[in-house]
């Protein structure tokens, strides 16, 4: 048994990150021996290649405005380990985490003795911790983010009130499949019989896969640009987006979100459609002013997040091609007249060359490639620099590179820190500490 949170987290991390054997047998057995906490609370299930975290954040804010106690389970963390499991924006406490780990630990050890169930993973343990915590605290609703894929993800043990699939792109192909159709089929695994599903801005042929699965399971599908859509009202001087929401029931005007980018409006629209669907099922009657207030209060770190105004410093965890395309679109749309410095790093498992190609399409952009202390972090090479020698350079220590950029930035320049979420979170924490020290 563990007495400190450091010991408990160390044990969680000691387990393999993901299972080598796909399937839900391990997590189902673990939860069965914990009296099935996942069945004790209403849930909303969110999958997708990108946009999951922002969509979860919008949902949390909308639900909270109804006076509900809201649990959220997300990954990976940006600020600290505990943020993956939250209730009403409060991270799980050290004491609660230690107590729950001590409950789970002997169960895992016993299951390890069974050849069929041995090898319960880090993510399976975290999933069980979240369900136990939410059931123990008797939350009104929990918004559960898929870790990887959908069909075999350990969160896929729930029967939610609403399923949500935000986007589909080519990511984690070594695990989910080589084609967009195969990946779509994995994401569609969260669609449950007769449970409504909200589908985001997803192109063919992935959309056809999702529609067919929903039809086969008789799950009512609400589809972006078919059953609901946003209309952009205007670009405001302040950070964020203004828009109007339309669905088959009508429209809601003068909506504002504090997250920048048209893709965030899409995420907010998906969240709002899912929220309204949930409210219908639970006989809740939200007012438009509550919806406006909920969306306005949404917050999600490291997604087009403004860390500083003068100079303008933006962090965005665009960790794959799909996310990078949306980031580049935002930068071209909102900052095309300004000099942009980019500090970039990623994991070797990602399509780094293609992501750099996308960044190079931003006008007036200089990119500083770097690496960071993380397994499979980007290895710098001359071949990368040859792509655009006048606009690409590299530095082995990102702290040094950050300092060099800040020294030469002019008043109207922009610094964008992007790439791996692990990298972005590390740099983000460093900058926030510096800002606190300077303000102190």
pLDDT tier at 237 (50, 70, 90 boundaries)? low
pLDDT digit string, tens, across residues 91-110: 999 999 999 999 999 999 99
81-87: long-range contacts (C-beta < 8 A, 24 or more apart)? 81/9, 84/126, 84/130, 85/126, 85/129, 85/130, 85/133, 87/133, 87/134, 87/137, 87/139
Domains in the chain and their CATH numbers? 5-296 (3.40.1190.10), 305-439 (3.90.190.20)
Query: Helix, strand or coil for residue 39?
Result: helix
Give the residue with greater pLDDT, 315 vs 300.
315
Give the highest mean pLDDT range of 51-55, 129-133, 231-235, 307-311: 129-133
H or E element: which one contains 194? none
Provide the β-strand partners of residue 357: none
Over the chain, what is the mean pLDDT? 92
pLDDT digit string, tens, across residues 164-195: 999 998 765 555 667 899 999 999 999 999 99
pTM of the full structure: 0.88
Greatest Cα-to-Cα distance within the chain, rounded to the nearest angstrom = 63
Report d(CA 412, CA 187) in Å as an integer.
42
| Lowest mean pLDDT, pick from 82-91, 213-222, 333-342 | 333-342
Supply the pLDDT for residue 260: 85
Give the highest mean pLDDT range of 116-120, 260-264, 382-386: 116-120
Contacts of 360 (CB under 8 A, 6+ apart): 367, 387, 388, 391, 392
């Amino acid at each position: 048994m563990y007495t400190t949170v450091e010991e408990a987290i160390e044990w969680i991390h000691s387990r393999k990150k993901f299972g080598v054997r796909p399937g839900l047998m391990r997590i189902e057995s673990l939860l069965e021996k914990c009296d099935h906490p996942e069945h004790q609370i209403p849930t909303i299930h969110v999958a997708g290649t990108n946009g999951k975290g922002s969509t979860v954040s919008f949902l949390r804010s909308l639900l909270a405005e109804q006076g509900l106690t809201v649990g959220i389970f997300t990954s990976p963390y940006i600020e600290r380990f505990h943020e993956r499991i939250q209730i009403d924006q409060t991270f799980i406490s050290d004491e609660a985490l230690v107590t729950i780990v001590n409950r789970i630990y002997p169960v895992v050890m016993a299951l390890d003795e069974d050849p069929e169930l041995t090898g319960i993973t880090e993510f399976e343990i975290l999933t069980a911790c979240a369900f136990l915590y939410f059931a123990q605290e008797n939350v009104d609703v929990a918004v559960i983010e898929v870790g990887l894929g959908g069909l075999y993800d350990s969160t896929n043990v729930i029967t939610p009130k609403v399923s949500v699939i935000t986007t589909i792109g080519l990511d984690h192909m070594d695990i989910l499949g080589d084609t967009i159709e195969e990946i779509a089929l994995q994401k569609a695994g969260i669609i449950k019989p007769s449970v409504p599903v909200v589908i985001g801005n997803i192109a063919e042929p992935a959309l056809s896969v999702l529609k067919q699965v929903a039809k086969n399971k008789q799950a009512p599908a609400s589809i972006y640009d078919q059953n609901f859509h946003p209309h952009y009202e205007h670009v405001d001087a302040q950070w964020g987006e203004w828009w109007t929401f339309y669905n088959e029931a009508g429209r809601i005007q003068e909506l504002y979100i504090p997250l920048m980018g048209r893709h965030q409006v899409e995420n907010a629209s998906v969240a709002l459609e899912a929220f309204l669907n949930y409210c219908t099922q639970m006989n809740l009657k939200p007012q438009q002013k509550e919806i406006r207030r909920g969306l306005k209060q949404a917050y999600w770190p490291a997604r087009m997040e403004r860390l500083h105004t003068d100079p303008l410093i933006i962090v965005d965890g665009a960790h794959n091609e799909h996310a990078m395309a949306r980031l580049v679109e935002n930068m071209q749309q909102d900052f095309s007249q300004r000099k942009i410095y980019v500090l970039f790093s990623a994991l070797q498992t990602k399509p780094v060359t293609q992501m750099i190609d996308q960044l190079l399409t931003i006008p007036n952009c200089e990119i500083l490639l770097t690496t960071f202390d993380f397994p499979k972090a980007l290895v710098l090479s001359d071949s990368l620099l040859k792509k655009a020698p006048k606009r690409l350079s590299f530095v082995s220590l990102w702290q040094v590179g950050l300092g060099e950029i800040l020294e030469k930035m002019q008043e109207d320049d922009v610094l964008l820190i992007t790439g791996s979420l692990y990298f972005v979170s590390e740099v983000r924490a460093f900058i926030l500490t510096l800002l606190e020290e300077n303000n102190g």
